[in-house]
Amino acid sequence: MASKTNFRGSFTALVTPFKNGSLDEAAFRALVSWQIAEGTHGLVPVGTTGESPTLSHDEHNRVVEWCIDEAKGRVPVIAGAGSNSTKEAIELAQHAEKAGADAALVVTPYYNKPTQEGLYQHFKAINDAIGIPVIIYNIPPRSVIDMSVDTMKRLFELKNIAGVKDATASMVRVSQQRAAMGEDFNQLSGEDATVLGYMAHGGHGCISVTSNVAPRLCSEFHLAWQKGDHATALKLHDKLMPLHTNLFIESNPAPVKYALSLLGKMDEKLRLPMVPVSEPTRVAVRSAMVHAGLIN
């Protein structure tokens, strides 16, 4: 019997707070609790936004454990578990399962540039090594490669492949994937700015960067959509749109960490090669937060 997921709504791609060069556990746990209190429907630790490339494996595993422990089953946790090394991805996914994650988010292998057959074999090896659902993370702008719909269809025949975090920003792809895999294939947007169109084409939710900063508004957007209140969803989307765009003026997660520092949630610390945002970006992020009613 294939693993199926029914993830719906706003899932936050959590940032990883740092202090004095180390993980800031207190700030991370406080962020998780605040997210849940504000109505976030699910949490995604140690993805791209969580600066996973610069965390050690031990740090990566600890962040996953803290997230699951702090969530206490109140919302599902999709643990980041990707790598461009299949062996490493399997180890991270096995840890996520052992820690109690509801699913593993596995990115298409970056830098190596595998073929479609290589992608299939990579995800099949992870599928075969664990017993929890796998969400494919397809993000061509960062990984260079784009998993085809045909490859996704092949993978969806496996026991644990359950859906996709789609960061292609293509509305066409949502419909193509629905046609190929059907409604049971769990489609989550990985692109905040196009989420309204993504949902209109049949998407189920969003793994969001913006919801780090505006969890309640992002949650309300999805709840309005689910109720068929498209007018309210559009108003909320318009309110959030400057954030959806301005949080990506410079490379994520530098702008969102600055935004969170303005809310007093954590220090604006990143790990090299990520650096704090420039003054023009600060002005743009502050303006977007004012537009959304998050700060005065």
CB contact at 8 A, 44 and 14: yes
276 torsion bin: left (phi>0), alpha (psi -120 to 50), beta (else): beta
Which residues are documented as binding site for pyruvate? Answer: 49, 207
Which residues are documented as binding site? Answer: 49, 207
CB contact at 8 A, 160 and 2: yes
Catalytic pick from 4, 98, 137, 239?
137
Question: Is 111 assigned a catalytic role?
Answer: no
**Nearest 5°: phi and psi at 232?**
-65, -40
Max CA pair span of the chain = 53
Query: β-strand 134-138 against 161-166: which pairing, if any?
Result: parallel
Catalytic pick from 124, 153, 165, 265?
165
CB contact at 8 A, 10 and 208: yes
Name the token pair of 126: 């992870």
DSSP for residue 55? S
CB contact at 8 A, 193 and 240: no
Name the token pair of 160: 């644990």
Query: In whole angstroms, what is the distance from residue 82 CA to residue 47 CA?
Result: 8
Question: Is 137 assigned a catalytic role?
Answer: yes
Could you give the residue numbers annotated as active site? 137, 165
